[in-house]
């Protein structure tokens, strides 16, 4: 965690160049008639009728443990209850523009929809934005390094501004962008969350916490959450259902395996500390659905863990068959891994060269296909992991999208 905070500070210092203030685009007024046939994805209602249902296309959350949405005639309320222990619940009231807002509760935040433009401090949102077709509304991203060609091209042309916000965000730069909405990275550490600061700055924000979902499909459902702000529920529902069906077919394929390899997640954050996802994080469910098992089933944390001294890791995971590194970039090869972290030689997976990392498609220090697109493509990650753990069920893809084998040693 200290490393992440230090990186955030350095990124903020590197972002001293001013961001040009921009005037928000004008909203169009559209006559929709007595009953809209579909959600209004652009513009405002010009002929409001109190009895009309302005959201005929609706979404529901069946897999997410953190989200729920309720619909009313001209507004919808999204409730976010974090799976990490920050002891708060956030409620967002999304009102169709051109219609009157409801009476707000003390904890409600008002957002006019459809959102015209937005920025994000969380790269995991980018894959969903691209699938939903809202790249052209993206004003700010946390980094210049993006694995999605269409968004990378926008950054190169200066149409989308890198705000160098690390993960947790940069309040001042978010305010300077002048976007309708700023998606924040929601941290398990309350002091790192910037939505209270954004509120004081007058910036409308929404939390993004897909990474702490307990299941991969719960995480993938966050595409529906993003769609709510753009009235794109119908599109998001179709995208999610297609991916969920493929994921379920793969899960069933691996469900009957007899031998389940032991998998260790995480990475060495420093010489003496090991960081990994908690035992109730969606990454461990991915391992289980791929026909593996893990040593942290009794751990109730949905966020991340840090073990110091590292011997706590060895107590449980020294015998793991596979080490699956996540978040931080992996080593160039096994020799480099052994040189930089000699004690990791105690891990059976290192000795047997069964080390894999979620850093395929790397485009920058912390940018790769998994960071940008892993939220919305769990079926591809599951297929790759099944091929690693059970090659008798699936052949490994010629060019993995997410998971790279650290070269060196046995194939």
Predicted confidence (pLDDT) per residue in 291-331, tens digit: 999 888 788 887 777 766 677 778 888 999 999 998 777 88
What are the pLDDT digits (tens) for 370-406? 999 999 999 999 999 999 999 999 999 999 999 999 9
- The top-level CATH class assigned to 2-13+31-244 is alpha beta
**Residue 210 pLDDT:** 93
Question: Could you give the strand order of the β-sheet that contains 75-80, starting from the edge strand earlier in sequence?
Answer: 67-71, 75-80, 90-96, 108-113
Q: In this structure, what token pair is assigned to residue 212?
A: 């702490």
Res. 353: pLDDT tops 90: yes
Banded pLDDT at 168 (limits 50, 70, 90):
low
Domains 2-13+31-244 and 257-405 share a fold: yes
Which superfamily does CATH assign the domain made up of 257-405 to? Answer: Nitrogenase molybdenum iron protein domain (3.40.50.1980)
What are the pLDDT digits (tens) for 47-104? 999 999 999 999 999 999 999 999 999 999 999 999 887 788 999 999 999 999 999 9
Domain positions in the chain are 2-13+31-244, 257-405
**Residue 409 pLDDT:** 60
User: Alpha-carbon dihedral of residues 395, 400, 405, 408, nearest 10 degrees?
Assistant: 90
Contacts of 149 (CB under 8 A, 6+ apart): none
31-38: which pairs have CB atoms within 8 A and are 24 or more residues apart?
Answer: 38/234
Q: What is the mean pLDDT of residues 3-21?
A: 39
Phi, psi dihedrals of residue 12, rounded to the nearest 5°: -65, -40
**Residue 321 pLDDT:** 96
Banded pLDDT at 228 (limits 50, 70, 90):
very high
Banded pLDDT at 144 (limits 50, 70, 90):
confident
- Asked if 186 contacts 209 with a C-beta cutoff of 8 angstroms, the reply is yes
**Residue 315 pLDDT:** 82
- Using alpha carbons, list the distances in angstroms from residue 308 to 22, 80, 275, 299, 355: 46, 32, 9, 16, 22
**Residue 10 pLDDT:** 33
């Amino acid at each position: 965690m200290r490393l992440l905070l230090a990186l955030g500070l350095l990124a903020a210092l590197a972002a001293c160049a001013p961001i040009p203030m921009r005037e928000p685009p004008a909203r169009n007024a559209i006559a929709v008639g007595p009953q809209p046939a579909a959600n209004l994805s652009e513009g405002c209602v010009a002929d409001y009728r109190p009895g009309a249902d302005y959201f005929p296309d609706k979404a529901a959350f069946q897999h997410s443990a953190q989200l729920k949405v309720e619909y009313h005639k001209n507004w919808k309320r999204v409730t976010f209850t974090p799976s990490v222990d920050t002891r708060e619940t956030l409620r967002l009231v999304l009102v169709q523009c051109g219609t009157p807002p409801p009476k707000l509760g003390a904890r409600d935040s008002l957002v006019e929809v459809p959102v015209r433009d937005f920025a994000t401090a969380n790269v995991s949102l980018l894959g969903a934005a691209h699938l939903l077709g809202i790249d052209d509304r993206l004003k700010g991203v946390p980094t210049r390094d993006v694995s999605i060609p269409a968004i990378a091209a926008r950054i190169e042309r200066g149409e989308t501004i890198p705000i160098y916000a690390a993960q947790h965000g940069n309040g001042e730069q978010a305010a300077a962008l002048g976007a309708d909405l700023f998606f924040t990275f929601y941290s398990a550490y309350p002091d790192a969350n910037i939505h209270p600061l954004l509120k004081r700055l007058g910036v409308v924000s929404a939390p993004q916490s897909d990474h702490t979902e307990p299941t991969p499909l719960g995480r993938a459902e966050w595409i529906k959450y993003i769609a709510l702000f753009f009235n794109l529920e119908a599109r998001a529902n179709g995208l999610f259902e297609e991916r969920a069906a493929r994921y379920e077919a793969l899960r069933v394929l691996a469900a009957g395996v007899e031998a389940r390899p032991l998998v260790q997640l995480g990475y060495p954050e420093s010489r003496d500390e090991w960081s990994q996802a908690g035992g109730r994080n969606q990454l461990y469910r991915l391992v289980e659905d791929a026909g593996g098992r893990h040593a942290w089933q009794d751990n109730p944390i949905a966020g991340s863990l840090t073990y110091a001294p590292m011997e706590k890791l060895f107590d449980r995971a020294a015998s793991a068959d596979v080490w699956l590194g996540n978040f931080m970039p992996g080593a160039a090869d096994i020799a480099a891994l052994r040189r930089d972290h000699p004690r990791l030689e105690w891990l059976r997976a290192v000795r047997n060269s069964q080390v894999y990392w979620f850093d395929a498609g790397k485009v920058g220090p912390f940018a790769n296909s998994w960071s940008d697109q892993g939220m919305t493509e769990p079926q591809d990650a599951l297929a790759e992991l099944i091929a690693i753990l059970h090659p008798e069920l699936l052949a490994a893809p010629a060019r993995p999208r997410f998971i790279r084998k650290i070269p060196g040693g046995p194939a």
